């Protein structure tokens, strides 16, 4: 694999991992920053004072709209997401002149992070996880032809490295598919799958691989650390 495993540290006590796995760490490879020349999207959010690291970390670790996959995404409320601490932090960041391309991409191999698609992944083919991260770094809200989540920024992504990548859903996922997503609390992402899949999961899904194929990541401002996050509802699908 082109992605060296990150250093190991114990996962948080909020969940029990299915097997030992390399959780994300600040030493994960990162995609190169991509500068963007476009002005920030129009927004009604007035530029507030720059938040300190503690308040930024809190905003990007807080989830108020609930796990999106809890009922198969039926209940998801775009307005709630637009008013979430995560989205409001992004809008304030843009209003203060912050650039999407100045954020830092954290990449984790053998992991699938949940989120709402701000750019559809099927047939959005990229050569590498870094290229997928770069597209997220260049993506801006309100410029993608509509859709329920068009007003949300890209702060998470998932890339398929194999000929076919397993997901417990109705879609077919193929090599190079790059999904751009918005997630609340990107510093503590909801994880669909990670590392080696246990036997009970593979009994539920006979087509599942022994190890997760996807490569996922999030965008965070400098100084905000990526944590292990928690397993989301899709882990129980």
pLDDT digits (tens, 9 = 90+) for 13-53: 332 333 333 333 333 333 333 322 233 333 344 455 667 99
pLDDT at residue 236 tops 90: no
What is the rounded CA–CA span in Å between residue 188 and residue 62?
Answer: 8
Residue 5 has pLDDT above 50, yes or no: no
Stretch 198-207: mean pLDDT: 94
Which residues does 125 contact at the CB level (< 8 Å), separation at least 6? 175, 176, 177, 178
Share of the chain above pLDDT 70, in %: 77
pLDDT at 47: 55
For residues 26 and 103, which has the higher predicted lDDT (pLDDT)? Answer: 103
Mean pLDDT of the chain: 82
Task: Band the pLDDT of 233: cuts 50, 70, 90.
Answer: confident
More confident site: 6 or 121: 121
| Lowest mean per-residue pLDDT among 55-64, 143-152, 154-163, 205-214 | 143-152
Highest mean pLDDT among 41-45, 64-68, 100-104, 139-143: 100-104
Question: Where residue 146 falls among pLDDT bands split at 50, 70, 90?
Answer: low
- Identify the residue with better confidence: 27 or 89: 89
Task: Give the Cα separation of 83 and 105 in Å (integer).
Answer: 23
CB atoms within 10 A of CB 163: 9
- Give me the phi and psi of 94, to 5 degrees please: -65, -45
Give residue 237's pLDDT: 84
The vertex-191 CA angle with 175 and 109, nearest 5°, equals: 45
pLDDT at 9: 30
Phi, psi of 204 (to 5 degrees): -70, -30
């Amino acid at each position: 694999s082109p992605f060296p495993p990150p250093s190991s540290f114990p996962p948080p006590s909020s969940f029990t991992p299915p097997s030992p796995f390399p959780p994300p760490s600040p030493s994960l490879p990162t995609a190169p920053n991509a500068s963007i020349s476009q002005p920030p999207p129009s927004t009604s959010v007035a530029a507030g004072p720059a938040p300190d690291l503690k308040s930024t970390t809190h905003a990007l670790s807080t989830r108020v709209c609930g796990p999106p996959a809890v009922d198969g995404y039926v209940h998801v409320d775009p307005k709630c997401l637009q008013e979430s601490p995560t989205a409001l932090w992004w809008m304030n960041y843009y209003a203060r002149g912050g650039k999407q391309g100045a954020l830092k991409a954290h990449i984790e191999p053998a992991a699938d992070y949940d989120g709402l698609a701000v750019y559809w992944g099927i047939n959005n083919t990229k050569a590498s996880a870094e290229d997928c991260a770069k597209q997220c770094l260049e993506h801006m809200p309100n410029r993608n032809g509509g859709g329920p989540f068009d007003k949300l920024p890209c702060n998470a992504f998932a890339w398929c490295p194999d000929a076919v990548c397993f997901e417990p859903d109705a879609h077919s996922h193929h090599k190079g598919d790059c999904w751009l997503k918005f997630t609340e609390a990107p510093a503590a992402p909801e994880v669909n799958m990670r590392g080696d899949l246990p036997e009970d999961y593979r009994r539920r899904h006979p087509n599942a691989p022994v190890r997760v194929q996807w490569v996922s990541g999030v965008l965070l401002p400098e100084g905000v650390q990526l944590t292990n996050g928690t397993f989301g509802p899709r882990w129980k699908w």
